[in-house]
Structure 1
């Protein structure tokens, strides 16, 4: 294949003048993530609820009123009609099955409220953020499987050969496709940093490694603490989760080599290796290094940016119940972060040759599609009822935004 660059010649590889950045020890990133998660678990704990109390009872959220539902019940209503006519039965069994209505079909699922006093139910009630931690462990587990499945599918042709051809196809589309006017050359951007701005590139290399996982986990923890309601938080979480699964599917069936791993004649530099900036979360046996398309670095950043802009309230006339109107200073701050963070991540992934512009474009489309169809996860709620029944555990009442609102902040 011919050299796919907009310039007729490949620029001479400049020498590194800056010293490689200091390398984080292998335990640093996991420690950061664990600190964020357990810090959020403590900050959002259920105050006034005691795990080992004689009769813990059922906690009612002060945010959503006496009819506050569990995190799944708020998504898919269950019919409690007819219970008044069955009081003798309730007295005998104490727990009527849930009647779920899904896609016009009525389903009977177990009512797990009978397990509310089990020790693991009490722990979850005290620390409801543990549920969010569990959801993201599942996400990470699915990601770890993408490399294995992709290798199996393309074992005959060779995964690296396939991924390289896909990477070159992306370059060809950016330079000659109908969207080519919107895609500046990745090589030119990296070369700008390499000629006179290498210290800035070193900062971007570290940002690429450190921001993606700790930053995203930190955002989830922050928004769980500050969101105006759990349904609003859950919409963001479902959007990010669905974006993940769409991206993971693409990783499996369309392995794509990032620019930095292409042969040297294509003009890209592996700046990540020079600065020892490979994240511990993106290295190892089961990590997919051929998952450039789409860029989940930018996908997360775009979703986070949109959420922060929404949280600013600057484009909303009507706020959610109990949500305080923010000052103009806070609105400008949130707007700046909401726009600046995705822009910084886009610059980072391109300058370090970890992604193509098309990767970010597709990630944006994935996030928008996931937002519009995030309620598809409702179909799993009946399965969740059965899963919880097998575990003999009841979901906790979410504490989203509760402590933040109690303190009367207007951030």
Structure 2
């Protein structure tokens, strides 16, 4: 049920978000464990990155470690921005841009589902478990303790990075609804997120690359407002093509 302004019902949306969060938690818990496999996959990822001539995660971390305040700021960003920023963004979209909100909520759901499938199929130990400094534990703040199979913070769910994926969704959503020429500055958010998760040794470059591919697929599957050439729109167009052709032949 929608409001007069076209806004989805608040209770319905809260229920949908609660279901999404529950699915997220269940998926994270399901992906826990598999320690040996996670470390084996980590070795494969690092070898692939070297084959692709990507910068090493350690080189980015070394730049960060030149400044302790900057390191602490990066840790705080990793620990405290991910969920609050996404929630604030969804609230803003719900009240100010309800049509785009529905689109974003669907994209976020598809992306998160794809990410959780990746976490289950490809458990991955993060770089801080392969010799890089765990900046959160050393300098604080940190969101991780010892690996715990009952924790929402699954430490072997590095591939793909939903930190980066959700940040990209926020940036794309804000760019889509804003008219200001400064709107492109929102790309600084996922860029900063990428640098933070790599420098703090919580993710690999490939984690961000894979989630970007997943987001592109999600955007292709979910029609954006006013986008006539989305995949669902193309299917509808093909479905009604004979009818349109018959009408033109009269």
- TM bin, normalised by shorter chain, reads 0.7 to 0.9
Cα-Cα RMSD: 2.3
Query: How many Å separate the matches in 2 of 1:346 and 1:193?
Result: 13
Match of 2:236 in 1: none
Change (3 A) 1:188 1:146: same
1:221 matched to 2:102: no
Match of 1:286 in 2: 151
Q: Describe the SS at the equivalent of 1:279.
A: coil
Query: How many Å separate the matches in 2 of 1:306 and 1:197?
Result: 31
Shift of 1:354: 0.5
1:150 matched to 2:18: no
Shift of 1:308: 1.3
Q: Alignment partner for residue 64 of structure 2, among 186, 193, 197?
A: 193
Q: Alignment partner for residue 335 of structure 1, among 175, 184, 189?
A: 184
Query: How many Å separate the matches in 1 of 2:55 and 2:115?
Result: 24
Matched ranges for 1:275-314 at <5 A: 275-279=139-143, 285-287=150-152, 288-313=154-179
Change (3 A) 1:148 1:304: closer
Shift of 1:198: 2.2
Q: Describe the SS at the equivalent of 2:155.
A: coil
Q: Alignment partner for residue 137 of structure 2, among 263, 273, 293?
A: 273
Query: How many Å separate the matches in 1 of 2:12 and 2:196?
Result: 32
Change (3 A) 1:335 1:148: closer
Query: How many Å separate the matches in 2 of 1:202 and 1:59?
Result: 44
Match of 2:242 in 1: none
Name the one with the larger helix percent.
2
Shift of 1:310: 1.5
Contact kept? 2:93, 2:100, Cα under 8 Å: no
Query: How many Å separate the matches in 1 of 2:3 and 2:109?
Result: 28
Query: How many Å separate the matches in 2 of 1:148 and 1:189?
Result: 30
Query: Unpaired segments of 5 or more residues in structure 2?
Result: 224-231, 233-250
Contact kept? 1:312, 1:335, Cα under 8 Å: no
Matched ranges for 1:168-207 at <5 A: 168-176=43-51, 180-181=52-53, 183-194=54-65, 196-207=66-77
Bigger radius of gyration: 1
TM-score (norm 2): 0.80
Match of 1:256 in 2: 124
Query: How many Å separate the matches in 2 of 1:307 and 1:148?
Result: 29
Contact kept? 1:186, 1:356, Cα under 8 Å: yes
Aligned residues: 220
Shift of 1:190: 0.1
Query: Unpaired segments of 5 or more residues in structure 1?
Result: 1-57, 65-69, 72-127, 152-157, 314-329, 379-411
Query: How many Å separate the matches in 1 of 2:116 and 2:85?
Result: 20
Matched ranges for 1:298-377 at <5 A: 298-313=164-179, 330-332=180-182, 334-336=183-185, 338-374=186-222
Q: Describe the SS at the equivalent of 1:138.
A: helix
TM superposition outliers: structure 1 runs of 4+ over 3 Å: none
Q: Describe the SS at the equivalent of 1:354.
A: coil
Match of 1:165 in 2: 40
Q: Describe the SS at the equivalent of 1:294.
A: coil
